[in-house]
Homo-oligomer: A and B are copies of this chain.
Amino acid sequence: MKQNLTTKQKELIERFGVIQEGMGLSPASARVNALLVVADSEALTFDYVREALDLSKSATSNAINTLLMMGQVGYKTKPGDRKRYFYSKLGEWQNSFRDRMNALTPYKEIINEIYENRTVETENFNIELKEFAAFIEYYQEESLKLINNWKK
């Protein structure tokens, strides 16, 4: 019953899916996420997702739960309706952007720790390393400013 999706929508789901696979999502999660961004409804049921993407129940369940745990997807319910209605949190991109910036900290820290443990023989490289760590920190701060100042 993927008849409610246009050819263009299916194409966008595949293309966005591939891009998101490149960002670390499994094929199924990538397509579920894409579907939720592309489809004409605010929120979709489990079975709609399942049928639209032609996935098994287990694949659908696992994909949705992965996205829920990652905070990329949410759901709401309706009174007197047991189904969950899943939606993409892509609209809440400000938060994930902040999270991604903060996630750079361990990377910056290990670069610094490597710098501190390097031989003094390779001065040029060492300076570049230290500069890199300093730039990451600067970049984190400035990026957070960018988003905080972005259109209320």
Contacts and interface: CB of A to CB of B under 8 A. Distances in A.
Number of this chain's copies in the assembly equals 2
Q: Taking chain A's interface residues, is the majority helix, strand, or loop, or is none over half, making it mixed?
A: helix
Interface in A99-121: 106-107, 110, 113-114, 117-119, 121
A91 B128 contact: yes
Interface residues of A, number: 42
Interface in A49-71: none
A15 interface: yes
Given A38-B114, A40-B121, A91-B124, 12 more contacts: A8-B117, A9-B117, A12-B117, A19-B107, A19-B110, A37-B114, A41-B122, A42-B125, A90-B128, A91-B129, A93-B135, A97-B135
